[in-house]
Amino acid sequence: MTDTSTTRSKQLKLPPLQLGKHTVDVPVVLAPMAGVTNKAFRRLCREYGGGLYVTEMVTARSLVERREEALRIIEHDNDEAIRSIQIYGVDAVNVGKAVRMVVEEDRADHIDLNFGCPAPKVTRLGGGSALPWKTDLFQAIIKTAVEEASRNDVPLTIKMRKGIDDDHLTFMESAKMARDLGVSAIALHGRTMAQHYSGKADWNAIADLREAIPDVPVLGNGDIFSAEDAIAMVEQTGIDGIVVGRGCQGRPWLFGDLQNAFDGSEERFRPGVSEVAEMIYRHAELLVETFGDETKGLREIRKHVAWYFHGYPVGGSLRAKMATVPDLAAFREYLAELDHSIEYPGAAVEGPRGRAGSPKKPHLPHGWLDSRILGDAERLGLVDAELDISGG
Ligand SMILES: Cc1cc2nc3c(=O)[nH]c(=O)nc-3n(C[C@H](O)[C@H](O)[C@H](O)COP(=O)(O)O)c2cc1C
């Protein structure tokens, strides 16, 4: 995906992104990632460059019930200029209540709605990326959310996939409906539910959407693993902003590369092992602070170990120890055992990372595709599509 052509520009040329009343100077969005984009990780990323940094997804129901974990997820640091959150919900009443609560209590400056989750346990009940197929439900949720958010002039955006599979694409009509209901931007992940995270994101679909709805900002998502990928996507699609997910896992400095590309600089972060060790240790410290608990913070850092050291020559036993690290003192010790003279390994660190896998047959409620309108039995089934969900 990295562009090696000499004819392409080296600068990311995009004007600031207007999200309702907010101006995002650097039109780069940290994609919401459940279990990843918490306060600690957002701070780390933010320190490298500008952009909009979205929380992990939170369910409407858990917000309405004021669950401790839900309130933790939507907390922001004082210096997060635009407090951005993402809500996932499957019925208009709960989503409306959740948005109202957030807006009335001034808990966020921007709200995104998640319509992209491909997890079978959610889609087989009609939630996640299955939901836009039911146009009445999709519109009802957005209508209520926009109305509630607009009470305090909070911009409401949506994020979605292309559709269920290549024979059941929804993004074009969904985007037009959302635009007509007053959303402030639309982010498209260029994959279908069936693709999950496999194959390549379809940037042509993103370009088509950009062209079809010139009156609302369109954000492109999928397979940006470097500043050069970002430049290529912008040039190929004409989009108004980019949304970066897996590319920054273990690489918060990617936002520095993107900032440099915006500034017209070709300088890129190329951390050696020593810098990576410092970064991951700081990440662990921030997680401890965020969760207010050393054990929990260190449990959280474990999954990041493989991402931070992806492509670096670090031995298996040391990796294994780090992936079960109990506390900060032990982490310091393990990190000291690394060979700090190792420089940036180049290509091994670049390119796709994180979730991949193979296409999956869509899991949907029985007969889901037969009608674009939600049936009564389907509505009942949806009740549980907000339980135990973690990400898109
Ligand atoms: C670990 C993980 C968690 C995710 N959680 C969410 C989520 O909470 N909400 C959401 O809309 N998308 C979620 N996604 C999808 C991403 O936001 C993004 O759309 C997807 O990874 C494609 O972008 P990328 O190619 O830049 O990774 C998640 C993805 C990953 C890998």
Task: Give the 3-state secondary structure of residue 19.
Answer: strand
**Is 127 in the same domain as 254?**
yes
Distance 315 CA to ligand 1 centre (A): 29
Whose C-alpha lies nearest to ligand 1, atom 20?
245
Whose C-alpha lies nearest to ligand 1, atom 8?
391
Burial (0-12, 13-18, 19+ Cβ within 10 Å), 377:
exposed
At 384, the pLDDT band (50, 70, 90 cuts) reads: confident
Site to probe by mutation for ligand 1, drawn from 1, 28, 33 as the one with most ligand atoms within 8 Å of Cβ, is 33
Q: What share of the chain is helix, strand, coil (3-state, %, to 5)?
A: 45, 15, 45
Whose C-alpha lies nearest to ligand 1, atom 1?
33
Distance 339 CA to ligand 1 centre (A): 32
Instruction: Tell me whether residue 33 is annotated as binding.
Output: yes
Q: For residue 315, what are the contacts with CB-CB under 8 A and spacing of at least 6? A: none
Predicted structure pTM score:
0.96
**How many residues does the structure list for the chain?**
392
Q: What is the DSSP letter of 31?
A: P
Mean pLDDT of 155-159: 98
Q: Which atom of ligand 1 is nearest to the CA of 189?
A: 19
46 found inside a domain: yes
Task: Give the 3-state secondary structure of residue 286.
Answer: helix
Whose C-alpha lies nearest to ligand 1, atom 7?
391
Its domain, for residue 281, covers 273-345
Q: What is the DSSP letter of 246?
A: G
User: Which phi and psi (to 5°) does residue 148 adopt?
Assistant: -65, -40
Structural domains of the chain, count: 2
Instruction: Tell me whether residue 363 is annotated as binding.
Output: no
At 383, the pLDDT band (50, 70, 90 cuts) reads: confident
Q: What is the pLDDT of residue 13?
A: 85
Residues with CB under 6 A from ligand 1: 31-36, 56-57, 86, 114, 116, 159, 189, 221-224, 244-247, 354-355, 391-392
Average pLDDT score, the chain: 94
- The predicted-structure confidence for 88-119, as pLDDT tens digits, reads as follows 999 999 999 999 999 999 999 999 999 999 99
Distance 332 CA to ligand 1 centre (A): 30
pLDDT for residue 374 is more than 50: yes
**Is 152 in the same domain as 282?**
no
Q: Which of 268, 300, 329 is the last residue of a domain?
A: 268
**Is 254 in the same domain as 312?**
no
350 found inside a domain: no
Q: For residue 311, what are the contacts with CB-CB under 8 A and spacing of at least 6? A: 345, 347, 348, 349, 350
Euclidean distance between CA atoms 225 and 248, whole angstroms = 7
Catalytic residues: 117
Helix (H) / strand (E) element for 23: namely strand 22-24
Q: What is the pLDDT of residue 258?
A: 97
**Is 250 in the same domain as 193?**
yes
361 found inside a domain: no
Question: Helix crossing, 328-336 with 273-291: angle to 10°?
Answer: 180
- The predicted-structure confidence for 343-359, as pLDDT tens digits, reads as follows 999 999 998 999 888 89
Euclidean distance between CA atoms 54 and 185, whole angstroms = 14
355 found inside a domain: no
Instruction: Tell me whether residue 189 is annotated as binding.
Output: yes
Q: What CATH number does residue 98 fall under?
A: 3.20.20.70
357 found inside a domain: no
pLDDT for residue 69 is more than 70: yes
